[in-house]
Copies of this chain bind each other. A is one copy, B any other.
């Protein structure tokens, strides 16, 4: 299976002449995109030219990968474990006509969704909850997460669901979106949300929305890490 992380590790291994392992801030399932992924490694030689490294990575990696910045991190920084929150956006193209140019980055919904109902449902889901109905945890971990933000807005034919949490259990964003889409299509009521949370059962939530509409847009860190020396 080709992955962005695998592609990066291969390129870094070639450039550094040693086996390189990396950590990614946010997992992205097959078909999911990322605009603001953050990747860290402890296997880089010290004192390299980071601008030259960025250019070399963009030459070596496939067109599906772009490295926008390379920076030296402070000691102890870890892309995944130092992250305070992740922000994902899910994009839905509404209306009868499909758009082939957006087919890889949006889900097409034939009708028009009820935005107010979706936002009312989203309001029930924001906060610290056990999200067992919306996804599986890794072995040994629990499914309690703090969902800081879940909001839907519309721009032209594109409806976007924005989700920010300290972390997400597996398939949680796509499962939240799938449930909100059912609310938007009047198949569920916003008032069903508390019951779905309480059920702690995957079968209680809506179907998992297709991967192609999902994008990891940013990863947030404490200010201490946010100096030029650390994150680009």
**A59-67, A72-80, A82-90, A173-181 - the one binding chain B:** A59-67
Query: Is A156 an interface residue, CB under 8 A from the partner?
Result: no
Q: Is the CB of A63 within 8 A of B96?
A: no
Q: Is the CB of B58 within 8 A of A97?
A: yes
Query: Is A15 an interface residue, CB under 8 A from the partner?
Result: no
The residue on B at minimum CB distance from A64 is B100
Contacts of A100 on B, CB cut-off 8 Å? Answer: 33, 63-66
Q: Is the CB of A55 within 8 A of B96?
A: yes
Q: Is the CB of A98 within 8 A of B55?
A: no
- Take A55-B96, A97-B58, A97-B68 as given contacts and tell me if A63 and B105 are in contact as well, using a CB distance cutoff of 8 Å: no
Q: Measured between C-beta atoms, what is the minimum distance from A24 to chain B in Å? A: 15
Q: Is the CB of A64 within 8 A of B103?
A: yes
A58 to B100, CA, bound (A): 11
The residue on B at minimum CB distance from A61 is B98
A33 to B102, CA, bound (A): 13
Q: Measured between C-beta atoms, what is the minimum distance from A26 to chain B in Å? A: 16
Chain A at the B interface: mostly helix, strand, loop or mixed?
A: loop
The residue on B at minimum CB distance from A100 is B64
Contacts of A35 on B, CB cut-off 8 Å? Answer: 101
Query: Is A108 an interface residue, CB under 8 A from the partner?
Result: yes
Binary contact track A183-198/B, C-beta < 8 Å → 1, others 0:
0000000000000000
Q: Measured between C-beta atoms, what is the minimum distance from A49 to chain B in Å? A: 15
The residue on B at minimum CB distance from A69 is B97
Q: Measured between C-beta atoms, what is the minimum distance from A57 to chain B in Å? A: 10
Contacts of A58 on B, CB cut-off 8 Å? Answer: 96-98
Binary contact track A105-116/B, C-beta < 8 Å → 1, others 0:
100100000000
Q: List 9 A-B contacts (CB under 8 A).
A: A33-B100, A35-B101, A55-B96, A58-B96, A63-B103, A64-B103, A66-B97, A66-B98, A104-B104
A residues with a Cβ closer than 8 A to B are 33, 35, 55, 58, 63-66, 68, 96-101, 103-105, 108
Q: A35-B101, A63-B108 are known contacts; what are 9 more A-B pairs with Cβ within 8 Å?
A: A58-B96, A58-B97, A63-B98, A63-B103, A65-B98, A65-B100, A66-B99, A68-B97, A101-B105
